[in-house]
Structure 1
Amino acid sequence: MPDAAELLYLWHTYRLPVLLAAVAVFALVRLTLRARGKREKTATIPPPGSPGPLSKDVKDGGWPDVLGDSREGKDEVVSVSEQPPTRAKAGPKRVTGVIRTKTSPSRDAGFDLTRDELQPLLFFSSLSGTTEKAASKLVADLQASTEAAPNVLPPKLLDLAYIDYDDYFIAPPKTSSEKRSIKYFYLIAIPTYNIDTVLDNFLEHLRETHHDFRIDTAPLSALLGYSVFGFGNKEGWPTEAEGFCSQAKEADKWMAKLTGRKRAFPLGMGDVNGDAAERFDEWGMGVEDVIRDISAGRGLGEGVPGSGDAVESDEEDVEDAQDSEGDTQAQPKVQRPKKRADLGDLEDLGRSVQKDPSSAPITIDFTTYSSSKKPTPVVKEMVPKSSPTYTALTKQGYTIVGSHSGVKICRWTKSALRGRGSCYKYSFYGIKSHLCMETTPSLSCSNKCVFCWRHGTNPVGTTWRWQVDPPEAIYAGVTAGHYRKIKMMKGVPGVRAERFAEAMRIRHCALSLVGEPIFYPHINEFTALLHADRISSFLVCNAQHPDQLAALKPVTQLYVSIDASNKESLRKIDRPLHRDFWERFTRCLDILRAKRLTQRTVFRLTLVKGFNIDDEAEGYADLVARGLPCFVEVKGVTYCGTSTSAAAGLTMQNVPFYGEVCAFVDALVAALARRSLDPPYGIAAEHAHSCCVLIASTRFLKPDGWHTTIDYDRFFDCLRAGTAFAPEDYMGPPTPEWALWGNGGFDPRDERVDRKGRPKGPQSVPVGGGGGRVLEVA
């Protein structure tokens, strides 16, 4: 017997022939078994078109032999349509079918005639009012046409600017009644603008909901259906491919994905300068017919999920795949003719390369996931001159500077020029209103506050995605615009010459006009330009941008708007765009607490009756204890008296009386005292005419009284020195006696007049808590 060395030698000598022989034997066995299996399969299936009945084995999932004998010996004839389907040929998918007979069409359509009720919801967005007017008319027409249907509820009109998207577009609204089930039908009527509006956030919400892995692919599939209509302007967008009604098309696309393609009526589009009214009426009548069909139990019709076999093309599937890989929302898609490419075998591809030795090898990128290319983002202007936003803001008296900044003189500037009083900043901090410029380097905001004066007339957004103007150009533009508006006052009766001359030298800047100032990427450079010209800076932010707030360099006085004491109340009154708005809010309070030792910090509380006053003093006290601001301004909301305010749920009933503001201040100070803060807080000053009271930290209470005013020259000297300084280092002289708590806050050197400019006689004004004392003022 050979030893191990000899075996090893034999293996190395003959291993290649042995391995090849083994592979050949294995391949031969596989081929033999495969050929035998094919013969057996062919023998058990009758040839296509063979006559004769089919046995019961067909129903059981099998087939008889060639002779037609069944295993049980009995034949049972079945329909030829029940034969197993043949294998589809290679090529594009064509899903076809017929509507099956239904025993209960209402159940198949998702609507039970016995217990369900249909609730139409019409969502709209409007800046100029055209869409809102058309939507209101459609709601009235729908209600009139469906009155005879007992299971159709009156339609509701909802403004996209004033609703929480999570309540309607992540899942249908939940019904509060247990006795009935309400099914919803969505209608969406929106315009298309070439600026950033609420619609951009609405479309972004739909897109994020579709791509959110935590949410079902079609979370709105419980809807009975939806339809979209778009208003556009062909003067700005000549063709659909160039953007005409592009936002309506985007909304229709995302709603199709979120509802599982329950498009109840085709997308409608109309030109506001042409056939918009006619097209909208046609769309409305089509929607009425669909609602009547659903309420009668007939569903949505052929080709729609829930009504039978869907007859759809492959094009929508391709679009779904492309949208899953990359969103093309930034630019409208242009329809191009599709070219069918011949796909060659990989070996043929190699031979074609070898034919031309001089050609370079083809580079194949196996990491490409989709043939669709993401469009290059186009940086656009925030407020183009051709936009309706520009027209609306300039009509309100704003001067638009560059593409995203603005300046405007307020009514207190005009009042101070005529010696009729300054705003509360003069009573609290010594700012003369006729020396103050009100401006903003960013007209965009991330909130939609119910008390905002600029409903729908300024852009909104959560991130900066616009063209950025240099701070030097903004500074030159806003100062020139302010001086231009001051000069327009020189012919107004009552303007005092000495104050007009003083107004031609800006001394203060209130960065609180509209929008969010710290949203501007170069806000620090802009405030540095103000300080270089010895102009003080009063910056107001909405506590939604903590990163920008943390990076902000010292300003004369830093405000944070505190409009609610809890998360739910903040959602209702500020209506923030950020989903993590409360986390951002609380983080801003912590940042303000850290800044309180290097600059003056202020909490701005705007009281809105019915929103954030009742039983919220304790909650506000907790926020003050967290942020420890230098001052707390408590101010009653000012009602601007517009239809947009009413649409937001704000009326004169929500404006608190000054006595109610004073009572809230007393309650807040008492709540702060119970928390034993060090240093404590007290009521320092008031301005009854502005319905505003100032609560201050006792850091600014000296033996001779409150020192809430500012030494502005000292502030600029501290900045120039370049060393660290505290708010106490530029504390001003004592607060005037007429501005202290209990004295009203109106400068006796000025004259109070009525709306027609006639001097007011002595009258009683409740002050100091609104209950016990009155002040005789002229």
Structure 2
Amino acid sequence: MPSSLSSFSARVTLLALFSATTFYFLYKSRRLRHLKSLTLSSKPVPRGKILFVSQTGTSKTLAQRLHNLLASNGVVFDLVDAHSYDPEDLPKETLVLIVASTWEDGNPPPGARFFATWLAESVKDFRVGALLLKGFRFGVFGVGSRVYGERFNAVAKGLVKQIRDLGGSEIVPLGEGDVDGGELDLDFEKWCEKVVGVLNGKVLENGVNGDLECGVYDSKEESEGESDLEEEEIVDLEDIAGKVPPRKKTAAAAAESNANGNGNGKVNGQREMVTPVIRANLEKQGYKIIGSHSGVKICRWTKSQLRGRGGCYKHSFYGIESHRCMEATPSLACANKCVFCWRHHTNPVGKSWQWKMDDPIEIVNTAIELHTNMIKQMKGVPGVTLERLNEGLTPRHCALSLVGEPIMYPEINALVDELHKRRISTFLVTNAQFPDKIKSMKPLTQLYVSVDAATKESLKAIDRPLFGDFWERFIDSLTALKEKHQRTVYRLTLVKGWNIEDVDAYYKLFSIGEPDFVEIKGVTYCGSSATSKLTMENVPWHADVKAFSEALATKSQGEYEVACEHAHSCCVLLAKTKKFKIDGQWYTWIDYDKFHDLVASGRTFDSTDYMAATPSWAVYGAEEGGFDPEQLRYRKERRHHKSSPKQAG
């Protein structure tokens, strides 16, 4: 019996010791004891995702901790690295928790740069709007260091602001942790407590946080907490709304100018085209400014084809490789103030060259360098293969149509020569106000003239030209186009209620310039502004563009036929039938190697000398609608949006 008591006593002692040890390890933190004691209500909680933006592993570790905590409470979340997550899937999510680190200079870690940039782009994309993430609930915890002052947790603050601007609703306010302050774990546990508390019933039926304040900023915090990423974000020309930069940055740019020059836009006595205010405006829109009057940007179609998701209309119509195309201009200035201006007139205007002039070789070299740097930022982005990335680092095409009037640059021919020496094709767009410049242009791969209206009255209303003799200049420009031997294009932009009924008047212009091709595109709505009264009602559907194009082709009585289309861009191509349709086969594509060989030969040649067969998927009426079947079609899930009317074809 004493032996049995002794054995029982030993078992009790061991059990007590085990219990005490277990209690110590499981509940050594008061906060952890409190969190562990929380249990979620029986209400169904939607499955969500925990994304982490991490460089050294801190945010990843915290995200794993949150994942384990929620799992212990019976809530299953996916734990995902933002580096491998496709942000285009965000509209499909309902609940996302983000743990985000701020890396060097207020930017996200390199691996998550695309994720953050996509959000920044979407906020400025007038076609996306504030309902993209409607119904999307989220919470963000930032990991940073207060020693960086204003840049402390800049990435997390930027993510919250951008998601809110896209219609998302915070379930908890922004949490902030300081890796150098010694309170990171405690601050994170407090934030986790709020998350668990909200999931435990503090969410209203409409999904909006009921007990916790929804906003996390006051006006001062919003202006001072912006990430430097905004200055480096990559956005496409068709995605921008010409927003004016913060007053603070404009003032800073002006101060820098005063320090380097005399503050009046002149350096060494010469006037700079890009003043500090203009530079700040354009850089805010994602432009990389070259020297004093040039610029380069990366196009969204470049990024799209890098990811294997299809190229732009020039890929469908002419066979360019969109992921190897550089969008640039040697002159940011323009002689028009078009109502559909993508920049909302944040770029300079002028009727003649009156500025300091940079060297064409410098412009080309810098443009290529800046372009390839932007391509490198796509490394690791979902869908970007090493092969396509390496191809993108060697541009083969240049669209001289970024902004402004490239033909104004006095050394435009020398610049084109430099591009051709590098076997880079040239697609130059002019606004039909400089006929003498068109006459003096050397051979280009393709020369465009913007034909924004067909009558003097409508041209004045739409283009709002600076020249008093704008109509005479317009007609002379079309006449000059007729004398060119290389491929020529009329570029028509249809604006509903302004010029979409002018079929007869447009056709009368065909005989003046006799273009090889006529591109017909629906206007891109760029948001409201003090300089434009356009609304979404002025944007034609693809069916409208097709109907207009077919009417023009019919009016030409067979001289032109509808050859190609790119439904995604709401764009259709007319081509000269006898010239580019041989035995029933269209030849709108370009043999780029042959073009460069012809340029190098120095002999005279014309547009038929370097044409190539158009693939069946690009031909008008094809089932693909101009989408390359070798690319992967990616369809965004549209929620909370009215569907567009059915389109013909």
Same fold (TM over 0.5): yes
1:400 alignment partner, SS class: strand
Paired residue for 2:549? 665
Q: Partner amino acid for 1:670? A: T
Choose which of 424, 433, 436 in structure 1 pairs with 2:313. 424
Q: Which has the higher helix share?
A: 2
Render the CA deviation track for 1:285-305: whole Å, top value 9, x for unaligned. xxxxxxxxxxxxxxxxxxxxx
User: 8 Å contact 1:681–1:697 — kept in the other structure?
Assistant: yes
Paired residue for 1:749? 630
| Distance in 1, Cα, partners of 2:373 & 2:348 | 25
Give, in angstroms, the shift of residue 721 of structure 1: 1.3
**1:75-154 superposed matches below 5 A:** none
Q: Partner amino acid for 2:595? A: F
Q: Is 2:474 the partner of 1:588?
A: no
The unaligned stretches of length 5 or more in structure 1 are: 1-231, 247-329, 332-376
| Distance in 2, Cα, partners of 1:394 & 1:628 | 39
Paired residue for 1:640? 526
| Distance in 2, Cα, partners of 1:421 & 1:236 | 43
* Gap change, CA 1:608 and 1:740, over 3 Å in 2: same
Give the TM-score of the pair, scaled to structure 1.
0.48
Count of paired positions: 391
User: 8 Å contact 2:339–2:531 — kept in the other structure?
Assistant: no
Q: Partner amino acid for 1:619? A: A
Q: Is 2:492 the partner of 1:605?
A: yes
Choose which of 573, 583, 592 in structure 2 pairs with 1:694. 573
**1:413-492 superposed matches below 5 A:** 413-492=302-381
User: 8 Å contact 1:489–1:495 — kept in the other structure?
Assistant: yes
RMSD: 2.8
| Distance in 2, Cα, partners of 1:633 & 1:765 | 23
Render the CA deviation track for 1:368-427: whole Å, top value 9, x for unaligned. xxxxxxxxx94211114xx12111111211110000000001110111111111001011
Q: Percent identity?
A: 55
Give, in angstroms, the shift of residue 720 of structure 1: 1.4
| Distance in 2, Cα, partners of 1:627 & 1:397 | 35
| Distance in 1, Cα, partners of 2:424 & 2:638 | 32
| Distance in 2, Cα, partners of 1:448 & 1:547 | 21
User: 8 Å contact 2:451–2:490 — kept in the other structure?
Assistant: yes
Choose which of 688, 713, 722 in structure 1 pairs with 2:593. 713
Q: Is 2:272 the partner of 1:381?
A: yes
User: 8 Å contact 2:397–2:424 — kept in the other structure?
Assistant: yes
Q: Partner amino acid for 2:329? A: T
User: 8 Å contact 1:446–1:544 — kept in the other structure?
Assistant: yes
Give, in angstroms, the shift of residue 456 of structure 1: 2.6
User: 8 Å contact 1:625–1:672 — kept in the other structure?
Assistant: no
| Distance in 1, Cα, partners of 2:387 & 2:638 | 20
Give, in angstroms, the shift of residue 651 of structure 1: 1.1
| Distance in 2, Cα, partners of 1:704 & 1:657 | 29
Give, in angstroms, the shift of residue 751 of structure 1: 2.1
| Greater RCO, 1 or 2 (C-alpha within 8 Å, sep 6+) | 2
User: 8 Å contact 2:344–2:531 — kept in the other structure?
Assistant: no
Give, in angstroms, the shift of residue 455 of structure 1: 1.1
Choose which of 534, 537, 540 in structure 1 pairs with 2:423. 534
| Distance in 2, Cα, partners of 1:756 & 1:379 | 52
| Distance in 1, Cα, partners of 2:288 & 2:637 | 27
| Distance in 2, Cα, partners of 1:636 & 1:496 | 33
Give, in angstroms, the shift of residue 757 of structure 1: 11
Q: Partner amino acid for 2:620? A: W
| Distance in 2, Cα, partners of 1:593 & 1:459 | 30
Q: Is 2:556 the partner of 1:703?
A: no
| Distance in 1, Cα, partners of 2:285 & 2:565 | 29
| Distance in 1, Cα, partners of 2:442 & 2:514 | 19
* Gap change, CA 1:757 and 1:474, over 3 Å in 2: farther
**1:216-615 superposed matches below 5 A:** 378-384=269-275, 387-595=276-484, 598-614=485-501
| Distance in 2, Cα, partners of 1:754 & 1:683 | 27
Q: Partner amino acid for 1:749? A: E
| Distance in 1, Cα, partners of 2:507 & 2:378 | 43
Give, in angstroms, the shift of residue 549 of structure 1: 1.1
User: 8 Å contact 1:601–1:631 — kept in the other structure?
Assistant: yes
| Distance in 1, Cα, partners of 2:251 & 2:520 | 45
* Gap change, CA 1:516 and 1:602, over 3 Å in 2: same
User: 8 Å contact 2:427–2:447 — kept in the other structure?
Assistant: yes
Q: Partner amino acid for 1:630? A: D
* Gap change, CA 1:395 and 1:668, over 3 Å in 2: same
| Distance in 2, Cα, partners of 1:741 & 1:463 | 40
Q: Partner amino acid for 1:599? A: Q
The unaligned stretches of length 5 or more in structure 2 are: 1-249
Choose which of 492, 510, 525 in structure 2 pairs with 1:624. 510
2:356 alignment partner, SS class: coil
| Distance in 2, Cα, partners of 1:456 & 1:243 | 25
Rg larger in structure? 1
Q: Partner amino acid for 2:572? A: V
Give, in angstroms, the shift of residue 492 of structure 1: 2.0
Paired residue for 1:15? none
